[in-house]
Structure 1
C-alpha cells in the first residue's frame, strides 16, 4: 500500500508566490521563504506517524509468517497459566492414578486406575472428585496397569502394558463394558495379548481411535519411541502383533485421539504435544502445573485433561486448540473382535471403599 504524503503530491502553485498578481513583487522573496518554512514543519509532523508505522512493519510481517507457518495447531506455545484445576481424585484407594478415560455416557464422570500396586479394578470419579463406583475386572490381573481408554459401544479398554524391565514377552489389554448404573461390582473382562514386532517395549500410552475402534500403543523410550497399531481384527487366545506406524517423542506416559478422530495428543513428564496426524510436526501445549504428567484425556467437548499420581492427585484442564492441518491417513477399517475364549471368572471381591454420592 502506498502512503500518500505532501512529499509525493504534485506541487500546486501558491497564490502568494513571486510573480503572483495578488502579491507585490518586492514581497515575493520574503513570502516564498516563509512558505518554505511552513511546508517543512508540516512535512516533519507527517513523517512521525509514517516512521512509527514503518517501525511496526517488521513485527507484523513476522507475526504473519509465524501464523502461516503453524502446521499443527493455530496457537503458539501455551503457558502453564492456561491450565486450570478441574478436580482432585479424592478416593482414599486412589494412590497411584496412571490413566484417565471419559465416560461413554453423558455424565460428568472420569475413569481411572492405580498402577501396579493395586488389584485389577477401575474407579469412577465424579465431578467433585469423589469415587462413585469401583469396578473389578473379572478374569484380569494388574501386572502393570498404565492407561485406560474409551472405546465404541460403551467399551472401556484397560492397558496392562507396562514393562519396565523388558521381561514380559507379551502385554495385555482388557476390554469391559461400562455399566450404565454406577454400582460397585465385578464385571467380566475380555483379555487380548499383544507383542511388539521389534521385541519387548515398555509402554504407558493406550489410544483407541473413536471412528474405527482400532487400538494404538505408544512405547516409552528415551530414543526410538514409536506409535504401534494393533491388528484390525483382534483375537483372544492369540498373540496380536503391534506394528510401528509413526515416531513418538521420548518418554510418553499417555495419549488420546481427538474425539472426532482427526489428530491426537501425547504427554510425557514435562509437556503435552498436539499432532494433526501421523507424521505431522508436533506443537507443544505447554507444561501443566504438575511435577510429573502421568495421564491424559480429551473430553467430548474438546477439553484436555492432564493428571498425575499421588494421594488426592489433581487433574488439570485446558481448552484444546483446533488442529488445522491435514489429519493424515485414516487408520485401517474398523476392527471386528472375534472372541475365541471365555474370560476366566474369579471370585467376587467386595470393594474396600464405599462410594460417595456426588452432590
Structure 2
C-alpha cells in the first residue's frame, strides 16, 4: 500500500515545464470532452456520459476524421485509454451520487466491436474519473474525492465478461491545493482527480486535476511503485473544466476541457521532465512543491494525517456544497 505523494528524499532543482500551447479548437460535437488518447496519427476523444459508445477520431487540427461507434448504452463514461494492441478502453466509472453497485470498462476495437467488463469495489460505491493502463494492460481506477484520499483500485482477478470482477484497493493519494487558476469550483478543483494517462511504453503515468497534471516515473512499468514516488507537477491553467489528458508518442502531454470550441493544448516533451530515479532515492521532478506529506496507508484519519493542512482543508470543506451542486446540475442518468 502507498499513501500520499511519497516524499522519499531531497529533490534538486529541475527545469520548469513549458506553458501549454494551444494547437486547435474542438468542434461542437465534443462539448463535454472527458477523455483523450493519442497514437502517432490520431487523437481519440470521448464525451462525458452518452447513450451509446462513441469515440471521435481527430486529426492534429481537431477535425473529426471519423467516429467509432457501438450501440451499448453506458452509465457514465469518464475516461479513455489506448492499449498497445489498439483497443480503446472506456472507463464507465462516473458515480456522482455514489449509488452504483458496479462500474464498468468497455474494450472497443477499431471496428467498433466492444466487450463489457463489470467491476465491483470492495468497500462500496465511489466516483472515479481517471483510468490508467499499465505496461501489461492491467486497468487501474483512481477515485475523485474532494475531502478524502483519491483511492487507487485494480482488478483482484483476471477480467471476466460481463463480470463483475472484484476490485482491490492498492493505495491512496492525496493532493495539496495549488494556486493554478481554472476549474469550475475554485481552489478545491486543484485536488479533484479528473483524468489519467500513460506514455506508450508505460514509463510515465499522469493524473490530472481540474488545474494541474502530476507525472510519475515508472522506468520498470510498475504503476504502484511509480505512485509511491514524488511526481512532477505540470500546471494546466485556465481550463474551464479540464478533464481530458493524454500522452503523444513523443512524450508531449495533451490536455483539453469540456465546453464548446475549447482548445486542445500541448506541453512539449512533458514526459522528459520526470528524470531517471537515483539509486535508493526519489525521482527528481519539475515542481517538488506539489507533493503532499505522506499519510497513513489506509486512507483513514483526519485531514492532517492525509497531508492536507488544516486551513486549506477548511477552505476545501467550504466549497463542498458548490461541488455537489455543480455535480448534480450535470447529471443526466446518474
TM-score per shorter chain, which class? 0.5 to 0.7
Corresponding position: 1:324 with 2:248: no
1:175 equivalent in structure 2: 107
2:34 to 98, 104, 107: 98
Residues 212 and 283 (structure 1 numbering): CA distance in 2 closer, same or farther, change over 3 Å?
A: same
What is the 5 A alignment of 1:75-94? 75-78=14-17, 82-90=19-27, 92-94=28-30
Does the 8 A contact of 2:194 with 2:244 survive in 1? Answer: yes
CA distance in 2, matches of 1:323, 1:230: 30
Does the 8 A contact of 1:306 with 1:317 survive in 2? Answer: yes
What is the 5 A alignment of 1:91-240? 92-103=28-39, 106-107=40-41, 109-117=42-50, 119-138=52-71, 140-179=72-111, 187-209=112-134, 211-222=135-146, 223-231=148-156, 233-240=158-165
Matched position secondary structure for 2:201: coil
Equivalent pairs counted in the alignment come to 244
Matched position secondary structure for 2:141: strand
2:202 to 243, 248, 261: 261
Matched position secondary structure for 1:233: coil
* C-alpha displacement of 1:102: 1.1
* C-alpha displacement of 1:245: 1.7
Does the 8 A contact of 1:89 with 1:130 survive in 2? Answer: yes
Does the 8 A contact of 2:50 with 2:77 survive in 1? Answer: no
CA distance in 2, matches of 1:69, 1:285: 19
* C-alpha displacement of 1:202: 0.1
- If the length of structure 2 is used for normalisation, what is the TM-score? 0.68
Q: Which runs of 5+ in 2 are unaligned?
A: 1-8, 176-190, 218-225, 281-334
CA distance in 1, matches of 2:11, 2:264: 29
Q: Which runs of 5+ in 1 are unaligned?
A: 1-67, 180-186, 329-359
CA distance in 2, matches of 1:75, 1:87: 30
Residues 135-190 of structure 1 deviation map (CA, whole Å, 9 limit, x = unaligned): 1124x2132110010012111101111000001110111001124xxxxxxx2210
223-232 or 318-327, larger mean C-alpha shift: 318-327
Once superposed, which parts of structure 1, at least 4 consecutive aligned residues long, lie more than 3 Å away?
none
Residues 266-291 of structure 1 deviation map (CA, whole Å, 9 limit, x = unaligned): 11112111223121123311233312
Higher-RCO chain (CA-CA 8 Å, sequence separation at least 6): 2
Residues 186-214 of structure 1 deviation map (CA, whole Å, 9 limit, x = unaligned): x22100001112211000011111x2011
User: Radius of gyration: which is bigger?
Assistant: 1
CA distance in 2, matches of 1:326, 1:226: 27
Aligned CA RMSD, in angstroms, stands at 2.2
CA distance in 1, matches of 2:53, 2:85: 22
What is the 5 A alignment of 1:203-352? 203-209=128-134, 211-222=135-146, 223-231=148-156, 233-248=158-173, 249=175, 250-276=191-217, 277-319=226-268, 320=270, 321-325=273-277
Residues 101-160 of structure 1 deviation map (CA, whole Å, 9 limit, x = unaligned): 113xx41x111111125532111111111111111124x213211001001211110111
Does the 8 A contact of 1:262 with 1:327 survive in 2? Answer: no
Residues 289 and 324 (structure 1 numbering): CA distance in 2 closer, same or farther, change over 3 Å?
A: farther
